[in-house]
Chains A and B, each alone.
Chain A
Amino acid sequence: MTFGIRFENPGNTLVFDSGALHYRYFSKPSPTAVGSISGGVHTPYRFRVTLPSSSHVPMPAVRPVNGRVVKVRDVVPAGGGDWDIYVWSVTITGSDDQRDAVQVAPELYVFAPMIASSDQFGVRLFRQDGSVSFDSGFKPLMFRQTIAFSASAGGGSNWDTTPLPNQPDMTGFYQGDSSSVPSVAIPVILGSGGYSEANAELVNASEPADRWEYGWSLTSGGALSRRRLWAGTEKPSYTLDLAQSAGSEVAIQWQLAACTALVVEGSGL
């Protein structure tokens, strides 16, 4: 490093670097399109944000809520400084099968790159190229906690004789996992919850049957949890399998990627 300043915390983790991409709280937008579930198809909520520069990229985060699953599904540039952020957000139904869940408006927090504020005092830092990297007049994006979720895989022994997709509770599917209790008053989570593909083995054939996304929730005890969110049926041929599966055994296998949740304090934003 030949220019600027850096800080480490007592654990020697870098927590500030004037040359880094410091982000700031930008907005908590309202959806421009409401999500829905119809015919087993999830349509996400859409949020449009307009950033000050076409070169800026937003960082979206969502607030996990007990009884719901929420997930940022897509972040897509829409021209100029416009970005469309798609969010899935559903209730957890009594059967814990989000096929028949109800969409519920998510809380989305958007962070954007630092620019110069209008404050007349404070700290403003610049990169070597002269661009603003930090301005104390904004609320900087500060990670307060990282929560790691491990990769998982399983199934095979979870036999179920109830034909898909009519099981009231697909116990063979991985429900999700939970980890530490967020250390902030209002946790806001950056990071995808991962993805799982389930395979239903029917009549000696292995066909990808259902796909599951994993989003964020909170347990009743307040721990951060990633929970499954039904994303759709994989193939039309699945229907054919169903016709053959009445009364037969169904083996379910799944795999789920590891991921990290970055926890931000949402209080005061």
Chain B
Amino acid sequence: MSFGIRCWDSSGVMTFDSLSAVGGVTVDIVSTQGSLSVSSTVTRTYPEHAGRTIEVVDVSGWNFEPVTWSASSDYALGHPRVVFTLPAGGRWFLFVVLVK
């Protein structure tokens, strides 16, 4: 390793290597329940990450019910913003937001 950072735990196991990490870092995890009766939205902004791109990964966004959700990201504010649109039905959603 000629540059970067690595960490080891007390037993000598490497726990972090900046050269092996890809995909960005987790800046938010959105665990939210949709409304029972109407569709709803959840908006998150990340002003501390102006100039970077974001990606939303759904961990359990799909289910037995034929529900549709969306996660729309934009940078109109000068920093990342995500608007989650959740269907009615009251089910739980779990999303991970990554900044790259």
Contacts and interface: CB of A to CB of B under 8 A. Distances in A.
A1 B33 CA distance: 31
B31 interface: yes
B27 interface: yes
A10 B19 CA distance: 7
Interface in A198-218: 208, 211, 213
A178 interface: no
Given A73-B63, A190-B59, A260-B57, A139 B15 contact: yes
A9 B4 CA distance: 8
A77 B92 contact: yes
Given A57-B94, A138-B9, A14 B26 contact: no
23 contacts: A1-B48, A11-B22, A14-B24, A15-B22, A15-B25, A20-B27, A21-B26, A23-B26, A59-B96, A60-B60, A73-B64, A75-B94, A121-B10, A122-B8, A137-B9, A137-B15, A138-B15, A142-B17, A143-B98, A191-B57, A191-B59, A195-B62, A234-B66
Interface residues of B, number: 42
Contact of B25 (A1, A17, A195): A17
Contacts of B58: 191-192, 259
Contact of A14 (B5, B94, B96, B100): B100
Nearest to A119: B10
A136 B23 contact: no
B7 interface: yes
Interface string B47-84: 01000100101111111101000000000000000000
A257 to B, nearest CB: 8
Interface in A235-269: 257, 259-260, 262, 268
B18 interface: yes
Interface residues of A, number: 60
Interface of A: 1, 7, 9-11, 13-17, 19-23, 42, 57, 59-60, 72-77, 117, 119-123, 136-146, 190-195, 197, 208, 211, 213, 231-232, 234, 257, 259-260, 262, 268
B10 A13 contact: no
B48 to A, nearest CB: 6
A75 B31 contact: yes
Contacts of A121: 10
B99 interface: yes
Given A14-B99, A73-B60, A7 B23 contact: no
Contacts of A10: 19
Contact of B99 (A20, A74, A192): A20
Nearest to A213: B62
A77 B60 CA distance: 13
Contacts of B100: 13-14
